Structures are given as structure tokens and as C-alpha cells.
Structure 1
Amino acid sequence: MRLVKLDQCPAGVKLGKSIYNENGAVLLAQGTYLTNSLIERLKQFHIFTIHIEDELSEGIEIVESIPEELRIEAQNVITEGLNAIIELNTNSSNFQGMMKSGRAVRSMQKVFRDLLNSLNENQTALNLLATTKVYENYVYTHSLNVSIYACQLAIENGLPIPKIEEIGLAAMLHDLGKLHIPREIINKPGKLTDEEYALIKTHCEIGFDLVKQVHEIPIPVSHGALQHHERIDGAGYPRGLKGEEIHKYARIISVADVFDAVTSTRSYRQALLPHQGIEVLFGGYETQFEGKQVQLFKECIAIYPPGLTVKLNDGRTAIVTKYNFNAVGRPEIRIIKDEENQDIQPYEINLGDPKHLILEIVEADALLNV
């Protein structure tokens, strides 16, 4: 099985994984042979990548870190939860609103425990990069991704489960304040003005003020969300905290937040490739981010997951067959096209082998709509 861009997918291919809508209903079942009309229908649902089964990817196993059904449930719970808290803020004396937001937070805590259990059962590196996404609102999708990344990083830190659960909730809530920022500014394709950037920066404190109204949210969770843009050298915001002045939760969430942000396509820029996202984190090693968190994150993320089609710097095309724990960013691959983009008899190489160090992955187009 492999992940491909939908607009490069010809009619007649076999769907390798079922595709669901935001409500968890199956749009198209695994095993369906795609027609041109089905491909066009999927595009209408803003689906850009799909998993297919073909001879080139035979034997390649794609392991889901988070089952698709659970991911959809978590996405819906986060969406409903953030909206309930926003709704409460419009009338803080509304008893029904307080009850609704409390129930929403408890639902978020429950679904996070399910995510945590799934990650604890996962024996491979965390793979979110090759997940087909059908969600249009960046804030909600980003909040889920960051909570999963932060959860895995908290596990790597050896933290006890109650603290991991608090980190997960803080990550789910970290961008709540952005729902109060006009969407035309959040999604502005060009450079922000100084005034617009100053408004964006208020989202941390706006979110903090919102979550303080919900009694079910512990104080450490509020501070973890508030401080996710603080930086080790004091150059962050909103308070310019330094080093260990920054809450432990925020030091973890900030790494997950930046990685997901830079590896996701936004209205104003194209996504970075995963190894470039890791380079961004290392560029801020012990200045923007706690070095320990950057190192642990690198070790637990499947930068190029199995099933992903990639292009090498010599022009050859390959499919990732196996994650390489000994050389992060240099997986085992199956070459399927030569330097002239011609189909060939597939063969496999390990990019972690010293004799292949001159080779580098320079393109993974199926990730660029993530």
C-alpha cells in the first residue's frame, strides 16, 4: 500500500484504506476501484491524498499510530469542546453554557485518554504525516495534531499518566484564542501587517482568559496553553519568560506546535518537508526550544513513514518501505523510477547505509497538502 496525490491518481486504481467524512461516515470503502467520477467526487470533499494498493507497493505495511475512527472522533470532540468554551464566553453567567463547557472538557479528557492508550500500544514511530485529512478548519485540525505529538513527547519524557493527560488537554486548548481572531487574518495569504501580527499574538492571553472560566480545567493546563509561544531565550510571548520559568507543559507543547505548523500547508506558505521541520527545531536548540525536547521529538517521529512516495536528489522516485530508527530521515526505500522518470524493475536500498549517504530525499509531494 502507498500514499499518493489524488490529482495524480488514474482511474482504475484500488483504494487501500477507507475514506471517512468529518462525521465518521464512510465516503468510499477500502477495495473500491476508482473511476474518474469518484475521483472528482473526492476532490469536492477537499481530499488531496489517498492510499492505494498496487504491485509497486506490494508488501508495504502502513501502521496507523491512531486509528482513523478514533482520529475522527477526537477531531469532532475537540471542535465541539472549543466551540462550547467560546460560547460560554459570550455569556459567562449562562448556567447552561457552564454545564455544556464542563461536559465538553470531560469529553476532551476522555478522548485524549483513548489517544494515549492507542499511542502506548503503538510499537513503531509516531506517524501522523501520511494521514488523509478531510478537515477544512486549520485551528481544529492543528489542535488535534499538536495534542497527539505532545502526548508522544510526554511519554518519551517518562511523565506519569495524570501529567500526560494534562499536557494533552493543554495542547487541545492551546490555540483556542485564535477562534476570536478574524478568519481573514488567520488565513491571510500575504505578509501580516504589524497591527495584524500584534492581534495574532493576543491569542495566547485570550485563550487563557477563556479557559479560566471553566472550572474543570486545572491551572497547570491553563498555563501550558498560555505559554506555548514562550521561548527559552526569553524572546517569546506573551510574557517573555526564560528557561525553566516556562512551564514544563509549554516547553513540550511548543515543540509539537512548531513542527506541525511548519509541516502543514497554510494560505501564506507551502509546507516544509518533515526533515526540514526537524531542522527548524534544531535551529532553535536551547534558544527557542529546550534541547532535550527537540532531541526526544526527533527520535519518536516517523519523519518519512512507510507507503510514502519520495523523490531523491538524483531524480529517482521511490516508495518508503520501512522506517529507519538508526538514521532518522533516512528510511529504507523501494526505487520504482530511474533518473529519467522511467518505470523500472523495482529494487530496494537503505538510505541509512553509508554507501548511500550522498542520496537525499528532496520531494514528498503527498505530504504537501497536509
Structure 2
Amino acid sequence: MRLIKLDGCKTGTRLGKSVYQENGRVLLTKGTYLTDSLIRKLMNFNVFTVYVEDEMSEGIEIVDSIPEELRVEAMNVITEGLDDIAGLNPHRSKLEQMAKSGRAVRSLQKIYKDILGSLTENRTALNLLATTKVYENHVYTHSLNVSIYACQLAIENGLPLKNIEEIGLGAMLHDLGKIYIPKEILNKPGKLTEEEYEQMKSHCELGFDHLKKIHELPLTVAHCALQHHERMDGMGYPRGLQSSEIHKYAKILSVADVFDAVTSHREYRSAMLPHQGLEILYSGSGTQFDRQQVQLFKNCIAIYPPGLTVKLNDGRTGIVSKYNFHAVGRPEIRILTDEDGQESAPYEIDLSLKEYLTVEIVEADALL
């Protein structure tokens, strides 16, 4: 199985992984042979890449970070939970809203324990590219993804279970304040005006002010919402806190938040690949992000996940066939072309044993 860009997909290509809508409904099932009309349908749903099965990628396994059924359940719980906690229904009494918030918090705690259990049991490098899903609301999707990344990073920190669960809940709720921001600002494809940017920045304090009033939540969860845009150099917002003033939970969330933001598709830009997202983190290490958290995060993700097409510095092209846990940036590659770009009989090489070789270019459609 391999990942390719949908706009380069040919009629007759066999789908390797099912494509889901946000509510869990299957849009296209694994094994479907794509036609022009099906390709157009996926494009209309803003699907940019798909996993396909073909001869050149036979035997390459793509492992989900968490089971698809759990991801679908988590998306539904988060969507309903954030809306209930935000309390946007004007017809509810204060007591009804308190009861709704309490039930939502308990549901979020339960689903996060399930996510934590799955990640602890499977202990694989995170590869959220492996999920092919249509997303209609980026706030809910982002909240789930950040909770998964933050969970793995908290585990990598060696934190106690209680702290990991608090970080997970804080990650799920860190962008609660965005529910109060107008959609035309949230989804604006161009640059925000100064006034719009100030309104967008207010989501941190809006979320904090709401979450700190919910008795079922530790105050640290509210501080995740307040501090996740603070920077180590004091140039963040809303309070301009510096390194030692920022809560450790927020330092973890900051890394997870930015990584998911830059590696996710938006209406106004394409997603970066994992290694490019990691470069963003390294470029801000020590100024925007905590150095230790950036270094630990590298161990959490699949920088070059299986199924990705790569080009080596000697000109050969192939597909990542296996992730190396002992050398996270040096996977095993199934070579398919020679140095001149001519097709060759497939063979495997392990980059951890070939120090003179590097991954020079990554292209999802280089082998089409």
C-alpha cells in the first residue's frame, strides 16, 4: 500500500484504505476501484490524498495509530462534548448547563482513557496520515489529533498516569474558545486583518474563562486553553509568559498543536509532510517551543511513514516500506527506480545501515 495524491490518481486504481466522513459514515470502502466520477466525488469532499494498493507496494503495511472505530467514536464524543461544554444553547437553565457540562467531561475522560490504553498497548510511532477521512470542522478534528500527539508526548516524558489524563483532557479542550469565534474568521483563506487577528487570539482567554468554572475539571485543564500559544521567549499570547512561567502541560500542547496544524490540510493551503512539520518545530526550538519537548516529540512520530514515496540523494526512487524505531529518520525503502529514473526490479534497503544515503525529496506522486 502507498500514499498518492488524488489529483494524479488514474481510473482503475484500487483504494487501499476506506475513506470516512467525520461522523464515521464510509464514503468509499477499501478495495473500491476508482473511476473518474469517484475521483471527482472525493475531490468535492476535499480529499487530497488516498492510500492505494498496487503491485509496486504489495506487502507494505500501514498501521493506524488508533483503531478506526475508536477514532470515529472519539470524534463523535469530542464534537458533542465541546458543544455541550461551550453552552451555546440559550434555552438551557444554569442547572441544565452544569449537568450537561458534567456529563460531557465524564464522556471525554472515558474516551481519552480508551485512546491512552490503545496507544500504550500498541506503542507505534504516530502516523495520522494513515487515516483517510473527510473533515468538516477543523476545531473538533484538531482537538482529537492534538490529544493523540500530546498523549504520546506525555508518555515519552514519563509522566504519571494522572498527569497524562489531565494533559489529554486539556488537549481535547484547548481550543474550546474557538467555538465562540465567527466561522468567517476561523476559516478565512487569506491573511487576517489586525482586528480579526485580535479576535482570533481571544480564544485562549474565552476558553479559560469558561473551563475554570466547571467544577469537574482540574484548573490545569483551563490553563491548557489559556497558555498553549505562549512562547519560551515571552513573545506569545495572551500574557506574554516566559519559559519558567509556562506550565509544562502547555509546553507539551504547544508542540502537539503546531505540528498538527501544519501537517493538516486547510482550505487555503496544503498539508506539510511529517518531516517538514518537524523542521518547523526545530526551527522554533528554544524560542517558541521548549527544547526538551521538541526532542522528545521526534521519538513519537513516524517522520517518514510507510507508504510514502521518497527520492534518495543518489537519484533512486522508492517507497518507505518499514519504520525504524532505532533510527527514526532512516526508514527501510523499497527501491523501484535506478539513479537515472529507470524502472528496476524492486529491492529493499535499510537507510540505518547506509549512512551516505539521505532522503532528498518526498513526493506523493513521483511513481505515477
Q: TM-score, normalised to structure 1's length? A: 0.90
Show the 5 A alignment for 1:1-150: 1-88=1-88, 90=90, 93-150=93-150
Q: Which residue of 2 aligns with 1:241?
A: 241
- How far off its partner does 1:91 sit? 6.7
Distance 1:183 1:164 in 2: 31
Distance 1:215 1:38 in 2: 49
Residue 276 in 1 paired to residue 304 in 2? no
Q: TM-score, normalised to structure 2's length? A: 0.91
Distance 2:313 2:363 in 1: 8
Q: Which residue of 2 aligns with 1:347?
A: 347
Note closer, same or farther for the CA distance 1:10–1:247 as it changes in structure 2 (3 Å cut): same
Q: Which amino acid aligns with 1:171?
A: A
Distance 1:185 1:37 in 2: 33
Note closer, same or farther for the CA distance 1:268–1:294 as it changes in structure 2 (3 Å cut): same
Note closer, same or farther for the CA distance 1:333–1:358 as it changes in structure 2 (3 Å cut): closer
Note closer, same or farther for the CA distance 1:292–1:358 as it changes in structure 2 (3 Å cut): closer
Contact 1:313 1:362 in 2 (8 A): no
Q: Which residue of 1 aligns with 2:205?
A: 205
Note closer, same or farther for the CA distance 1:41–1:115 as it changes in structure 2 (3 Å cut): same
- How far off its partner does 1:76 sit? 1.5
Contact 1:88 1:98 in 2 (8 A): no
- How far off its partner does 1:337 sit? 4.0
Instruction: Count the aligned residue pairs.
Output: 366
Gap runs ≥5 in structure 2: none
Q: Which residue of 2 aligns with 1:171?
A: 171
Q: Per-residue displacement from partner, 1:236-267 (whole Å, max 9, x unpaired)? A: 11111122321111111111011111222334
Q: Which residue of 1 aligns with 2:291?
A: 291
Q: Which amino acid aligns with 1:70?
A: L
- How far off its partner does 1:174 sit? 0.8
Q: Which amino acid aligns with 1:24?
A: G
Aligned-pair identity (%)? 70
Q: Which amino acid aligns with 1:297?
A: F
Out of 63-72 and 281-290, give the one that drifted further: 281-290
For the residue of structure 1 that corresponds to 2:330, the secondary structure is coil
For the residue of structure 2 that corresponds to 1:177, the secondary structure is helix
Show the 5 A alignment for 1:156-235: 156-235=156-235
Out of 61-70 and 79-88, give the one that drifted further: 79-88
Distance 2:274 2:63 in 1: 18
Distance 1:295 1:92 in 2: 46
The CA RMSD measured in Å over matched residues stands at 2.3
Note closer, same or farther for the CA distance 1:314–1:185 as it changes in structure 2 (3 Å cut): farther
Contact 2:334 2:349 in 1 (8 A): yes
Contact 1:224 1:248 in 2 (8 A): no
Distance 1:323 1:172 in 2: 28
Q: Which amino acid aligns with 2:46?
A: H
Distance 2:227 2:285 in 1: 18
- How far off its partner does 1:98 sit? 2.2
